[in-house]
Every structure is written in C-alpha cells, then in structure tokens.
Amino acid sequence: MARIYEDLTVAIRRSKVTLMVLAVLLLLVLIFYWKIQVLDHQKYWKMAEANRIREFPLEAPRGLILDRQKVILAENAPSFKVSLIREAISDYDQTLIELSQLLGLSQEDLRKRIDRYRFLPTFEPIVIKDNLKLEEVSIIEARKDEFPEIKLEVEPKRFYPFGQTGAHLIGYLQEVSVDELRTQPEKQWRAGEMVGKSGLEKQYNDQLAGRDGKIQEIVDSLGRPRAEISRTEPQPGHNLELTIDFDLQRKAEALLQGREGAIVVLDPRSGDCLVWASSPSYDPNRFINRFSAEEWLAIINDPGKPLENRVIRGLYSPGSTFKIVMALAALNEGVITENSTFFCSGSIKIYNKEFACWFKPGHGQLNLPEAIKNSCNVYFYQLGRRLDIDTIAAYARMMGLGQKTEIDLPGEKEGLVPSTDWKRKFLRQAWFPGETISVAIGQGPLLVTPLQMAYLTSLVANRGKKIRPHLVKSREEPPAVSRIDLPESIIEKVVEGMWRSVNNQGTGQGAYQPGFDVCGKTGSTQLISRETAERLSQTGGELKKTHSWFTGFAPRHNPEVVVTVLVEFGGMGGETAAPIAGKIFQAYREKYVR
C-alpha cells in the first residue's frame, strides 16, 4: 500500500516568516525597554519624582533704586499670590467653578489666565491671582486641604513710594509676556514673573533682579504637601544708586504740572543727570498688579501719552536754540566775526521770498552777541545764506545732534539733521537753498530731543569738552577727556551772547538769578506758518501756541549745572521756558552753592 506524504513546504515557509516577525517584534520591545531604562532613565526618573516631589521658586527681592542722597525711589513690599498647578487637577471644569468662587474671579477670566500658559509643562505653577487681601489669604489658608492644586505664596512686590515722581527714568515692571517666554528661553523666566519693561528697571533688569531660590517638598497622592526636603534661599538683586537729585526732581516736576514737556538738568563736569522730568507722568505702581489687555489699551491710548519719555523720545524742532550751532559754524568757518553786523528791519527778502523776524519792528543793526541776546531771526537768515546745509549739518552732528547720546536708558531716538544726502535718499529730491534759511533758525526738517539740547549746552559750558550723560553712578574710572574740534575762543564769543540774553534784558531774562551768572538761549518752535497763524487769528480759528524752549548753564565761568526746558504749546521761550529754568537754577543754587 503506497504511503501518501503531505507536502508541508508552505507551512514551514509561513512558520519561518512568523518566527522572523516575532523575533523582530521582540527585538523592538527589547530596544524600547532599553531606551526607557538606559537612555531615558533621567527623564522618567524626574517624572516619577515629580509625582512625589514638587518644586517651587522663591522669588528674589529686587535691588533698591536710590537717588544720589540715598532717598529710596523703588523698594519692595511683601505681598501674597496664589498659583495653580494643573497636573494636580482631577476635574478641570469643576475645579474652575470652585476656584472662581474661592478667589472671587469669573470663570471666564480664570480660564483665560490658565489657557494663556497652556504651552508650559503642567507641573509649572501659574499665577492666577496676586496682591491678595488678608481676608482672602485667611480663606485660602483655611481651605488649602480642599484645594491641593493651588499654592499660596509670599512674593516681594515692587513699590514706588513717590508714585509719579521720576516714573520715566525709573520705569516699571510688568508680567513677562507669553511671546518672551517662547522666544527668549535663555532668560529662564518663569510664567508670571515680573520683569523690567521700561526705564532703569528694564536697562538694569539683570542687575536688579537677583537670583531666585527654590523649595522642594514631598506631596501625597492627592498633591498635598507633607514635608520639606530642601530649600535654597534667594539672592537679592543689587541696588542702583542714581545721579538724580530727588529734591530738584520734585521741583522740576511741580513746575511742569499740568503741562506737556520735559526738563533735563546735567552736571557738565561729570555728565551726572540731576533731573529727568517728562510730563504728563504716570504711576508705575499701576503696572505691578497683573491687569487685563483692556486696561493696558486704556493707558497707551491716553491722548496725553503719559508713557512717552519725552526727554529721549520726544522729537521737536529746536527753534532759536539752534542759533548756538549756527553762530559756532559761522565763526569757525570765517563767514563772520564777533563784530560782524547785519541790519534787521523786521523782515528780509532772500531768494525772492519774504522771511520775517519774530520782532516785527526789527532789531536794527546787530553784531553776533546782540543777535544771540535778542534772538534776531534776520541776523541768522544771513548766516543761513552764507553757509550751505551740509556744513551746518556737520557742525550740528559735532555738537551731538542727529545721534544718540548713549544715555543708560532704552528707547532713545536719534533725531534728524537734514542734509543734501538725506533729502536725496529719503525724499528723492534735491535740496533747495531756501530750505537752508529755515534750518538757520531751527525750523524745517530739523528734529532734536531735550537730552540732545542739554548735551549740546554742556559742550558750550565746557568750552568744547565732552561728557557722557548718565543716570547711574559709575564705579569705574571716568573716561579720558576729549574735545570737539572748536577753539575755546570761538565758543567764548557765543557764551558772551548767551550771557547777555539772560543778564542784559535779552529774550532769556526770565532765567536771571542775581549773582549766579546764568547763560542761556531761548527758542520758540513754530508749529504752523506765520501766514496760517495770521489767517486763523482773523477768522477766529483756534491758534495753537508754539513750543517753548530754554537751554542754558551757570555760572558763566567754571559751570556747575546745565538746565534744558521744553514746554509743548508753551508760547515764546522767554515767556514760559526761561522762567521755569530760572526757578530750577534758583533751587540748585540754594541747595549746592555756598
């Protein structure tokens, strides 16, 4: 009987394939476990520990900000905040309901707050309410076992004891934004951390912030703390000692009350800024509490622009204060001498156009010191006709215009000094000689900041020696003294005119202080053409006043103080800015001159 053999070839082939697949799967499993146990050991160990150990930051107190006489301008006060740890939440919706009732927050606001940081790891605490009242702290503390997902903490809260005083130079803190957390990981900021957003608080944030500590504690399965494992104490930030004089600062701000403008006071010997006033101001304490986007928009849309630091960000035509530059340029170029005279009849026709002096009857025959004293436009129109715009621009830049002073504050603007190249590049037009006539009296497309004018004045006061304006007292050796390329003898001739302006019945006589030898120059920035002004006055239309300038120094020899005042819509410089400067010179003299 023949034996019939079954063909098992197909079954054997399939079994081999199955074994190979199983072997590959087993290998993958082994590799996966090896990766978990060896490569990712630290990662999963930390995750496991995180279920048992929780870490919280201990915020470092910011350094103090003090004036030159140790008056505290920014300090810290204890405050309470409550944070949420999302990984400890079991029922998200129910937790929102209960927390909103506990903290007195709407569910919508609470949800927005949490969703804002949804990209962060769930074990990182999120600040959901700060600046808690004592009764709120008591309620949270009494019910802390019911809410293991929240953490009550004490934080050093920034406090500005004098409110608006010095706000633009001190700056303010604000919660670090989501964009900053995402785009600047090297900063190692925490969600909810308060950082400097303007002024010295921003410029010196790293120095002021110090180094945070941390606390590690054991929590149970419900997330409730049971024991503290370790604690690293925070290191407070370094203090900042400013060059600002608090008494003079308050005096200057009081003089600007109800006005828009700026006042800068410098020591021309060192570059110390004694006063930095910008008006209107704001209370930086408002920014310490975390507020909504709507509240922020209300502040930045204020028509008075209280956040604008006019000292370094306000751009204005310098008006007749620019005649200082014109006089120096004309003398050094040999266009005129100190005794060169021109006749002022109240107006002059140049390039077939009538250019008016501010004094309609005319000043008559004038030399340079008298032209500076009386701020005669016609005299300086003559200089503008004899100097080309590029020469004027070169002297303006030499005197610090059209460039940053490199003050130790963020946001400084460069201003604008026009030239033929500038107009060709940005306006694609040629420069016309008639435009130079307007620039000669500080009008046209010429823009400066109040700090630049104070720096220019310090150069004149120092007879050409440069200083570096600064707000923080330096522990370093002062830089070597350098000079601009102008002879002292030429600068002295301009100083003579500035002295007459204040002390000999000139336009700056409002700044006069008996025995203090104040030297200065007024300016009035024309906001509309003279023809438009006359038409508005005839038709009963609203006539906007000019911006009012004064910049000067005292005493004439061995100067100690530079004062620059800008009042927006203040009228003539001699009427508004000069008297304000005079009161500041008086306050300085009473305090420092023996």
To which H or E segment does residue 80 belong?
strand 72-84
| pLDDT on residue 541 | 47
Beta bridge partners of 551: 521, 564
Q: Enumerate the β-bridge partners of residue 83.
A: 127, 151
Count Cβ neighbours within 10 Å for each residue of 220-233 and write b for 16 or more, e otherwise. eeebeeeeeeeeee
pLDDT digits (tens, 9 = 90+) for 174-230: 888 777 777 777 677 777 788 899 999 999 999 999 888 887 777 665 556 667 787
Tokens found for residue 502: 């204040």
Residues serving a catalytic function are 320
Q: Contact, 265 vs 584, CB < 8 A?
A: yes
Q: What per-residue confidence (pLDDT) applies to 273?
A: 97
Between CA 589 and CA 561 the distance in angstroms is 9
The pLDDT score that the predictor gives to residue 539 is: 46
Q: pLDDT > 90: what percent of the chain?
A: 59
Q: Where are the domains of the chain?
A: 53-241, 246-296+309-592
Report residues of the chain scoring pLDDT below 50: 1, 529, 532-533, 535-537, 539, 541-543
For position 289, what pLDDT does the model report?
A: 72
Of the CATH numbers 3.90.1310.10, 1.10.8.50, 3.40.50.10900, 3.40.50.10240, which one belongs to the domain with range 53-241? 3.90.1310.10
Q: What digits encode the pLDDT tens for the residues 10-39?
A: 777 778 888 888 888 888 888 877 777 777
> Do residues 577 and 508 touch, judged by C-beta distance below 8 A?
no
Q: Can 53-241 and 246-296+309-592 be said to share one CATH topology? A: no
Question: Does domain 246-296+309-592 bear CATH number 3.40.710.10?
Answer: yes
> pLDDT digit string (tens) for 259-273?
999 999 999 999 999
Q: Is 368:327 a contact under the CB 8 Å cutoff? A: yes
CB-facing half-sphere around the CA of 9: CA atoms within 13 A: 2
Close Cβ partners of 60 (under 8 Å, ≥ 6 residues apart): 156, 209, 210, 211, 212, 213, 234, 235, 236, 237
